[in-house]
Amino acid sequence: MKVDRRDTWTQASVVTAMLLCCSLASAVDRIDSSASETAERQTSKATKSQNENNTRTVQRKPELVAMEVVAMQLVDEHLQELKGMLDQLRTRNPNHYRIAIRDLSRAAKRLENAKKRGEQLFEIEIELLKAQTHATLLTAKLKVNDNNPLRKELREATDRLVHAQINRAEFDVQIMTQRIEKAMQQLETAERLLETKKTNHEEDIEKTYRSFLNRVGLSADNPSDASP
């Protein structure tokens, strides 16, 4: 079984996308509250047109569609809290949406590989992904609205994440220990074979010598050049 040495999932791009989305949402709210009704209608119309164009642009890329299927299956099964955020990214920032989908599809692939290596590793990786994603979302929310309740949630989420990392590290140690034990058994077998070879080396020489002669039809007891 191959051990994956990563302690956490690599989701830097997803984090950036989430933070940007929250910042945009906050900015849009401030603009809407101060704009006139006419400006709102014009902005809404322009935004709708732009969003439709963005959606068509995203949908025209077959590779993104394939990644979307994998990524959204992961979200539906394990990361439901990302769904609303991804919907916002899809219409407001297609570029960051593509980055998020790419990272999620890679995470799904890693989970698939983990499942092939065993249910225990799969469950560990699922918990690690969930814990990191939850902490990421709380961090994004704090960027928009810093408050004590959210900070408390983030601390609890951080505790969950660190415990998930510990579980993964314990799994790695378990696998390495099993490998070492197997290697030690192989070493003991090799050492016994070596001692046997040393003890029986004269007999082995004779057997091997006779074997070479037999290959060419000669007998060790009656060499062809011996005197009659």
Residues 99, 69 share a domain: yes
Mean pLDDT computed over 63-73: 87
Structural domain of 107 = 12-177
Residues 113, 50 share a domain: yes
18: in domain: yes
% of the chain beyond a pLDDT of 90: 46
Residue 41 is predicted with a pLDDT of 52
Q: Indicate whether 22 and 104 sit together in one domain.
A: yes
Which tokens belong to 127?
């918990």
Q: Judge contact between 109 and 9, C-beta under 8 A.
A: no
Sequence letter at residue 215: R
Find the mean pLDDT for residues 203-226.
81
* Mean pLDDT within 165-176: 96
| Lowest mean per-residue pLDDT among 10-24, 153-167, 214-228 | 10-24
SS3 93: coil
Measured from the Cβ of residue 224, the count of other Cβ atoms closer than 10 Å reads 7
What pTM was computed for the model? 0.63
Q: Is the pLDDT of residue 4 over 70?
A: no
Residue with token string 């989430």: 18
Domain shared by 197 and 108, yes or no: no
Structure tokens at 72: 């959204």
Q: Does residue 16 sit in the same domain as residue 95?
A: yes
Q: How many domains does the chain have?
A: 2
Candidates 135, 184, 126, 139; CA nearest to 156 is 135
Tokens of 111: 């989970």
Is the residue at 5 inside a domain?
Answer: no
Is the same domain home to 94 and 145?
A: yes
Residues 55 and 149 in one domain: yes
Say yes or no: 142 and 194 in one domain. Answer: no
Indicate whether 38 belongs to any domain.
Answer: yes
Q: What is the pLDDT of residue 220?
A: 73
Give the per-residue pLDDT at 171.
96
Task: Look at residue 143 in the predicted model and tell me its pLDDT.
Answer: 87
Interval 124-148: pLDDT, tens: 999 999 999 999 889 988 988 999 9
Q: Are residues 130 and 150 in the same domain?
A: yes
Give the span between the Cα atoms of 17 and 21, in whole angstroms: 6
pLDDT for 119 beyond 50: yes
Instruction: Tell me if 96 sits within 8 A of 18, measured CB to CB.
Output: no
pLDDT digits (tens, 9 = 90+) for 11-64: 443 444 454 444 334 333 333 333 334 444 554 555 555 555 555 444 446 777
Within 8 A by CB and 6+ apart from 143, the residues are 19, 22, 23
For residues 192-218, give the mean pLDDT.
Answer: 91
Same structural domain, 210 and 145 = no
Overall average pLDDT of the 100-120 stretch: 92
170-177's contacts with Cβ under 8 Å and 24+ in sequence apart are: 171/120, 171/121, 171/124, 172/3, 172/5, 175/1, 175/3, 176/3
